[in-house]
Amino acid sequence: MLWMEFPTFAGASAAKPLSVVLAACLLSATASFGQQAEERTCEVPLVVEAYDPPSRNSAPVKTLGVNDLLVQLGTEWFSVASATIDDGPKRVAVILDGTGRISQDEWRMEVELAATFVEHGRPGDTFALLLAGAGSAPGPFGPAKEIGKKLRQLKSSRQASTNSGGSTYDALLAAGNLLNPPRFGDSIYLFGRGGDSGSTAGLEQVRDLLLKNGVRFCGLSLSASLTSEVLQLSRMAGCVFSFTSLKTLSLPAM
């Protein structure tokens, strides 16, 4: 994670943390910038990845400096004052969609994907597990090995769902509260369909908490029924929500 510090000015809206793929950083500002405005600084996290052909994987780019970056505020462009690498441990809240709409095959694939994701955690990274629709208490945070083991156990011991629809917003709010007070790099990763029906929490309540605390929200859906609201929330929180089919993942490797 690359920390950037750049000048901003009185009257500008507070910058939210952004996760950016490719060498770009774009911030929108609603207020005009006067030439005589008071100058100040703010920090924005930036993630830049590049594809590595030999490994066939994307890897973080850690060679960027202040001369490689520009920041847009409204219609104005500004230089970056400083840029430093942050390799500290991170917290990730992992949500599994365990609601009644999820078939057993889909559930097993969700668990497999989540376990593989967690097991790739770095030393020092911690993970918390939440089950949407199961009514169970979230967390606590634990090391990758411990949470990965819990996930593997869920593959054959699925908890009964208390919601036949979707309770995504309740799960997201619980994850956001678990990450409160926030730390730099906090993230939520959802494995599931992303739709919502029957949640006590509303979309605006979840959005306000995640954006206020700078929590990134990413996810992977095995169904094309992903809602535009969840996609928009993920983009606003500086991440992506991707889709792949259960059939494709079930095919044998070539």
Give 91-250's CATH code, choosing from 3.40.50.410, 3.10.20.740, 3.40.50.970, 3.40.50.720: 3.40.50.410
Average pLDDT over residues 13-24: 32
Q: What is the DSSP letter of 161?
A: P
Percent of the chain with pLDDT over 70: 76
If one compares 79 and 176, the residue with the highest pLDDT of the two is 176
CA distance 74 to 30: 7
Specify whether the CB–CB gap between 214 and 17 falls below 8 A. yes
Other CB atoms within a 10 A radius of the CB of residue 37 amount to 14
Helix axes 203-213, 228-236, angle to 10 degrees: 20
Other CB atoms within a 10 A radius of the CB of residue 149 amount to 13
How confident is the model over 149-193, as pLDDT tens digits? 999 998 877 766 655 556 889 999 999 999 999 998 899 999 987
- Please state the domain extents for the chain: 2-85, 91-250
CA distance 175 to 124: 19
How confident is the model over 217-237, as pLDDT tens digits? 999 988 776 678 888 899 888
Which residues, including other chains, have CB under 8 Å from residue 152's CB and lie 6 or more apart? 111, 115
pLDDT the model gives residue 70: 86
Q: Is the pLDDT of residue 25 over 90?
A: no
pLDDT the model gives residue 160: 60
Q: Is the pLDDT of residue 5 over 60?
A: no
pLDDT the model gives residue 121: 92
If one compares 137 and 79, the residue with the highest pLDDT of the two is 79
When pLDDT is cut at 50, 70 and 90, the band that residue 41 belongs to is low
Q: Is the pLDDT of residue 17 over 80?
A: no
CA distance 113 to 132: 16
Between the ranges 6-10, 13-17, 195-199, where is the mean pLDDT highest? 195-199
The structure's pTM equals 0.73
The three-class DSSP label of residue 152 is helix
pLDDT, mean over the chain: 78
> How big is the chain, counted in residues?
254
pLDDT the model gives residue 9: 33
pLDDT the model gives residue 40: 62
When pLDDT is cut at 50, 70 and 90, the band that residue 38 belongs to is low
Structure tokens at 39: 């100058």
The three-class DSSP label of residue 107 is helix
The three-class DSSP label of residue 30 is coil
Question: What are residue 95's DSSP bridge partners?
Answer: 130, 190
Specify whether the CB–CB gap between 83 and 64 falls below 8 A. yes
pLDDT the model gives residue 54: 84
Task: Give the CA distances from residue 169 to residues 24, 116, 131, in Å, rounded to whole numbers and listed in that order.
Answer: 30, 24, 12
Specify whether the CB–CB gap between 216 and 17 falls below 8 A. yes
Average pLDDT over residues 23-51: 55
